[in-house]
Structure 1
Amino acid sequence: MSFNFTCAPRTIFGEKALKTAAPYIADFGKKALIVTGKIITKTGLAAKVQDVLSVRGISSVIFNDLPGEPDDKMIDAALSVFKSEKCDFIIGLGGGTPLDTAKAVAAMTVLPGKLSDYAGKEMSGDFAPLVLIPTTAGTGSEATKFFVYTDTATDAKLLMKGDALLPKLAVIDWTYTISSPVSITVATGMDALTHAVEAYTSKKANPVTDIYCLDAIKRIFKYLPAAAKDGNDRTAREQMALAAYEAGVCINNSSVTLVHGMSRPIGAGKTTVFNLVSGFYVPSEGSIVFDGQKLNGLRPHKIADLHIGRTFQNIRLWSDMTVLDNICIAQHSRLGFDLKDVFLRTKNYRAREKEIHEKAWALLDKFSLADSALDYPKNLPYGIQRRVEIARALSLEPKLLLLDEPAAGLSTSDLDGLISYIRWIHDTFGVTIWMIEHQMQVVTSLCDHIKVINFGKELAEGTPAEIQGNQTVIDAYLGNAEIDEELKNFKAPFNH
């Protein structure tokens, strides 16, 4: 028997782990780029990290413009800050998105070319030192040599790998997870469980990973329900943080299997149809027709003129324009005046500008955004950015509104508000809404008609009630009796 077992050079676990880790962090340089999210910044946790660094004479700069799952544009923006600020090392602070982004930035500080050039290859080199600090118990990214990002040019979700992507230091303070809402706690906990189960069943599993897998699974079965029931249960939070780390170590060495293999093509490919309809992609064959008009070959702005509006899975707002300007500029495709009117500020120009601003303010009022009208979107919480993007799409007065995972990344409270806003849009404007969404609460609350796709083929079509009662759908997504029996037999190893 022979196998290779790899993990981060140093891991510090426990309450106040960051202070314990400070002397080691000081060895990495005098200036850090902290990659994190806006919510983490708002909670003050990023500032606490900066305080610990400051005591050691380390300056730092925060990059938190991460509106969704990592893509090449976010990574390039963070890399630009690293270089312009002359940083020495990188700290990833947060969930999977900041940690994966931090890994990508560390690699591209020395690698030439584009990130996509290294797809399917081992990423290697003397990367910038990397410190990873998770605030959720699930992704295990702090223990792995992998990260996932979306290449916006091809809309492909790519898995990148390399031993050099392992952090120099992993800092796991389970108290950082206490503030996680129940939805995040459960989702990330199930992610950790999936990692452990897949790694245990992988052909690359070995005796050492089996020990980690079984221990992680037993912890999750015992403590995830407790953490979900009471987020302040300190024992449950500590044990889940440890289980997530164990599961991360497992997938770092024995990899994952079909569940994650499926998630990448499914996760990225569904947006392709929206990109085709809105003109970002050109179909290789066939025709796309809307309201009697063939869309093939039309530029995106021409398609928008046909009253088709859209949002994006990863929010794409003009971050250096105010919220008001974002709403107004979307209406300028139907200006009704030319450059001469602009330069001379003609009566026609003034009248149209007044009309545009009045419509924009009306939308801002309807979406409870008036107080944020003069703010820049990049400084706003994620849930508010979602509303801005939907309001911008609605300012085009669409007949068809394409919503690409509008609930992605939203908290439970934001989710309820989103459902109300989308229902109001449909009822008030009579617009047809075409939505891609994983959140079943959103789908069943809003949709009159649902189409279920499985392995690229249509599985079922009908009303929410029909879909919920469709045995074929239930079997595909939840398993059938035959699979259930196999799972019963599979539980045996966890009982010892």
Structure 2
Amino acid sequence: MQTMKFAMPTKIFFGKNCIREHHDIFTLGKKALLVTGRHSAKINGSQDDVEAVLRGNHIPYAVFNEVDSNPDIPTVYKGAAAAKAEGADFIIAIGGGSPMDAAKGIALLACQDIAENDLFSGTYAEKVLPMIHIPTTSGTGSEVTPYSILSNHLAQTKSTIATPLIFPAYALLDPAYQKKLPVSITVNTALDALSHNIESALSIKINPLIGQIAQSGIKQIGECLPALAEGGFTEEIRAKLMYGSLAGGLCIAHTGTNIVHSLGYSLTYFRNIDHGRANALTIASYLHFIAAGAPEKVSSILSAMQFNNIEQFRQYIDQILGKKEDFTVSELQKYTQIALKAKNINTSLIAPDESAVMGFYTDSLLR
């Protein structure tokens, strides 16, 4: 019998009006710092609901709304300074992956003096501000992971703080906040969630329990693929996408991501391509590579999405991505060297060598 482990310290509430229905959990401390993007949390109503609950609980709060897409290291240090200045003793993250990832870095740095050179070391004191996370997109699953992914300008890529310390205490998921989410963001975040589930399913760290969760996430997102291509996002579709994102987060919390994310980081860092789109650009080539050695694994993934083969999947991805960005061979050679240095380069069921990594790029982006 295979040995397994599963740990999820985050308590999850999923459903309509879950913030107001679980108002009692917003008492993790005496003052909250709300970490958000520039505008979206106000536009979709999630921040108003959080503020109403805090006022009802007589909990004062401050707002740090300076998180941009792909938050960087200076942003989390600035947010930590704000938390200290405000005397906040717990964090509420509201938004997509960017505010949630930033919030984790802020929660850690608000309690510990960590030099930038040591930020990704993995060695930290047992001190962090407790967190509540409220995702308002269906992509990263950051509300249930121990990762904070930040743009690292020194390394010219994205780097990851990885520690169980930054698991949120609570995650509240209400698909209603995504009712007015633009189509492009809906598509790109869904592709990110899909890549999480697929990469986890094809990880050397997979176990039967995580495998079942990943398969369920792939199936739920698979049922939404026509809507992603054609539009028409019903309440049911939004709920399925949010479940798929949650499943992906639960999976990568245990397996991590693999080469698809490493490939995508350079596309995002150097070309400002949305993270989910960046993953999707190479994922069909990745499946083709894995299918050479583990065809049954890839077949199971494709079947869950109602595709008969990889080429059908590739055609679908090409359709929803539209016109691809132009790249030169020298660009892709540079990105290949960066990807080869990633920690997760060898976590796939089949580890790619330098030729395979360059092949992912050229097959996907120079076709």
What SS does structure 2 have at the residue aligned with 1:64? strand
User: Following TM superposition, by how much is the alpha carbon of 1:83 offset from its aligned partner in structure 2, in angstroms?
Assistant: 0.8
Correspondence list, 1:378-393, <5 A:
none
Query: Compared with structure 1, are the counterparts of its residues 124 and 187 closer, same or farther at alpha carbon in structure 2 (3 Å cutoff)?
Result: farther
Q: Which amino acid is the alignment partner of residue 456 of structure 1? A: K
Q: Counterpart in 2 of 1:11?
A: 12
2:334 to 449, 456, 460: 456
Give yes or no for contact 1:14–1:174 (8 Å, CA) kept in 2: yes
Correspondence list, 1:135-150, <5 A:
135-150=136-151
Q: Counterpart in 1 of 2:40?
A: 40
The separation in 1 between residues aligned to 2:363 and 2:130, in whole angstroms, is: 43
Query: Compared with structure 1, are the counterparts of its residues 474 and 111 closer, same or farther at alpha carbon in structure 2 (3 Å cutoff)?
Result: closer
CA RMSD of aligned residues (A): 2.7
User: Following TM superposition, by how much is the alpha carbon of 1:41 offset from its aligned partner in structure 2, in angstroms?
Assistant: 4.2
User: Following TM superposition, by how much is the alpha carbon of 1:441 offset from its aligned partner in structure 2, in angstroms?
Assistant: 5.3
User: Following TM superposition, by how much is the alpha carbon of 1:118 offset from its aligned partner in structure 2, in angstroms?
Assistant: 3.2
Give yes or no for contact 2:80–2:110 (8 Å, CA) kept in 1: yes
Identical positions, percent: 28
Size of the aligned set, in residue pairs, is 297
Question: 1:382-433: CA deviations, max 9, x gaps?
Answer: xxxxxxxxxxxxxxxxxxxxxx64x869xxxxxxxxxxxxxxxxxxxxxxxx
Q: Counterpart in 2 of 1:312?
A: none
Q: Counterpart in 1 of 2:203?
A: 202
Q: Counterpart in 2 of 1:186?
A: 187
The separation in 1 between residues aligned to 2:267 and 2:362, in whole angstroms, is: 18
TM (norm. structure 2) is 0.74
The separation in 1 between residues aligned to 2:335 and 2:228, in whole angstroms, is: 38
The separation in 2 between residues aligned to 1:122 and 1:212, in whole angstroms, is: 30
Q: Which amino acid is the alignment partner of residue 36 of structure 1? A: T
The separation in 1 between residues aligned to 2:248 and 2:324, in whole angstroms, is: 30
Q: Counterpart in 2 of 1:75?
A: 76
User: Following TM superposition, by how much is the alpha carbon of 1:476 offset from its aligned partner in structure 2, in angstroms?
Assistant: 1.5
Question: 1:211-265: CA deviations, max 9, x gaps?
Answer: 1000000111102432564454001101111111011100111121111123335
Question: 1:71-111: CA deviations, max 9, x gaps?
Answer: 11111221111111111100110011100000000111222
Report which structure shows greater RCO (CA 8 Å, sep ≥6).
2
What SS does structure 2 have at the residue aligned with 1:247? helix
User: Following TM superposition, by how much is the alpha carbon of 1:201 offset from its aligned partner in structure 2, in angstroms?
Assistant: 0.6
Give yes or no for contact 1:38–1:65 (8 Å, CA) kept in 2: yes
| Structure (1 or 2) with the larger CA radius of gyration | 1
What SS does structure 1 have at the residue aligned with 2:22? helix
User: Following TM superposition, by how much is the alpha carbon of 1:2 offset from its aligned partner in structure 2, in angstroms?
Assistant: 2.1
Q: Counterpart in 2 of 1:259?
A: 260
Give yes or no for contact 1:92–1:133 (8 Å, CA) kept in 2: yes
Q: Counterpart in 2 of 1:29?
A: 29
Q: Counterpart in 2 of 1:101?
A: 102
User: Following TM superposition, by how much is the alpha carbon of 1:153 offset from its aligned partner in structure 2, in angstroms?
Assistant: 4.4
The separation in 2 between residues aligned to 1:2 and 1:408, in whole angstroms, is: 37
TM (norm. structure 1) is 0.55
Structure 2 stretches of 5 or more lacking a match?
276-320, 337-358
The separation in 2 between residues aligned to 1:20 and 1:162, in whole angstroms, is: 30
The separation in 1 between residues aligned to 2:93 and 2:232, in whole angstroms, is: 24
Correspondence list, 1:459-470, <5 A:
none
Correspondence list, 1:227-246, <5 A:
229-246=230-247
Give yes or no for contact 1:110–1:125 (8 Å, CA) kept in 2: no
Give yes or no for contact 1:124–1:164 (8 Å, CA) kept in 2: no
The separation in 1 between residues aligned to 2:33 and 2:151, in whole angstroms, is: 22
